[in-house]
Amino acid sequence: MIISRPQSGKVRTRRNIVMSFLVGLFLVAPWVVLPEGSPLIRLDIPKRMFHLFGGLFIPQEGLILWFFLLTMGLSLFFFTSVIGRVWCGWGCPQTIYTDLFDRIGRFVLDSKYGKKDASIVGKYTVYFIWIVVSFIASFHWIAYFVSPYEMLADYMSFSAFSETYFYFTLFFTAAMFIDIGFIREQFCRYACPYARFQTLLMDEHSWNVTYDFKRGEPRRDGKTKIGDCIACNMCVVVCPTGIDIRDGLQVGCVACGKCVDACTSIMAKENKKTLIGYFSLKQIETGDKIKWVRPRTVVYAILLGVVLTGASIQLLTRIPMSMIAASNKSMPPILIPDNKIRAFVALRIQNIAPVEKEFQLTAFDTRHGKEILIRSGEENNQFTLGSGEIKSISVVLETQTLSEQELNEGYLPGSIVLKNIQDPDEKLEKKLSLSLPRK
């Protein structure tokens, strides 16, 4: 386990702002409840309902999930090719919480943090605080799946021990304590999948934490000074993963920028510019400006733009209701007097809007343009559903009188329409194919 030396500087200050914002957002978001009563973010897996920024989504909307995953993947490709491993250094929870744990360790143990001669009481005090922080973080992680208000009430009344989420919280608390407290950089270097393919996404024009080897090499050797690098090794001492940035791009580099601040402070004493900074490899080799627009970034940008456009269209044209219609296999359509067909259909209707709505059912013979009588047991086939509420009903469809020729057509294409009474333009249509019994 590596305990890196703390380092102040411009990059450190900016990272503090970004990390504070991200941690604050992570802790606050699950507690936010919108005016209509729905949570800002809640992935309610048992109920199969996902609340996201005022929208209610269900697993049947797989296309939206597909667009989301594509957007995340292409964003990773695009931003890595342009600005390097910025996610690892500025937004990854592994980096953020490792930094937080180090701050706690230094606050309690001061200069003895990470040293073998640190007091036992001090060490276990640090471990205790780490466990508390891990529990708080795990509690809020679970709060994205279960109401934090309900969990807090259960903990206060000591009734949480019988709930499943309690054991998930304990598991993630233990996992975070072990990972951030002891595994640390080993995860970044050997387990993180992103570290493995980052080099495939970056090229010589990517803007990343880079060492200016043309100015720095060869390094100072004893009293012989040839390049600007004085071989102070501060860039290695402050690195949270223990790599030497002077050896070039490596899997272990998380682009946190601590080496940038360290080299900046040392070179300032020499009245020289830093040897480590946010540069591109090509910029160092030739001195040219960074080439932001290149085939790799253009392709990623186009693909990302196409996916974002498709996702926007899907969200804007999305109908906030769901209906599954299935013919009753045990009760096939029957022929009744006056050459009418009676069919039995099972419906599963869900309101996936964040507010209560009133719905109405209608049915049509799409081949002949005739209305089909529908009996649902509700007055005027109207009913009200709250946000996320599901209604499972069996309905009876009865066609108008069919001619002999129509009866011999074999099947009758029809549709069931679910519409919002308050907004008739908001409707959902499900196609049905009713088999026609022969006389």
Average per-residue pLDDT in the chain? 89
Residue 29 pLDDT more than 90?
yes
**Per-residue pLDDT at 16:** 94
Q: What is the dihedral of CA 360, 365, 370, 375, to 10 degrees?
A: -40
Residue 68 pLDDT more than 80?
yes
Question: Cα–Cα–Cα angle for 255, 259, 260, nearest 5°?
Answer: 85
- Give the burial class of 350: count Cβ atoms within 10 A of its Cβ; 0-12 exposed, 13-18 middle, 19 or more buried: buried
Backbone φ and ψ for 362, nearest 5 degrees, come out as -140, 160
**Per-residue pLDDT at 304:** 95
* Mean pLDDT confidence for 144-155: 95
Residue 149 pLDDT more than 60?
yes
* Mean pLDDT confidence for 196-222: 85
**Per-residue pLDDT at 222:** 65
pTM, rounded to two decimals = 0.85
* Mean pLDDT confidence for 75-104: 92
pLDDT tens track for 265-312: 999 998 999 999 999 998 998 888 888 999 999 999 999 999 999 999
138 contacts: CB under 8 Å, gap ≥ 6: 169, 170, 172, 173, 176
Query: Which CATH architecture best describes the domain 321-435?
Result: Sandwich (2.60)
All CATH 2.60.40.3880 domain ranges in the chain, comma separated: 321-435
pLDDT tens track for 414-424: 889 999 998 88
Backbone φ and ψ for 59, nearest 5 degrees, come out as -60, -25
pLDDT tens track for 110-130: 988 988 888 999 999 999 999
Residue 404 pLDDT more than 80?
no
Amino acid at 117: D
Residue 70 pLDDT more than 90?
yes
pLDDT tens track for 305-324: 999 999 999 888 888 899 98
Q: Kind and range of the H or E element at 64?
A: helix 62-83
- Give the burial class of 269: count Cβ atoms within 10 A of its Cβ; 0-12 exposed, 13-18 middle, 19 or more buried: exposed
Q: Is 386 left (phi over 0), alpha (psi -120 to 50) or beta?
A: beta
Q: Distance between CA 204 and CA 70 in Å, rounded?
A: 26
Q: Do 127 and 181 meet the contact criterion of CB atoms below 8 Å apart?
A: yes
**Per-residue pLDDT at 200:** 80
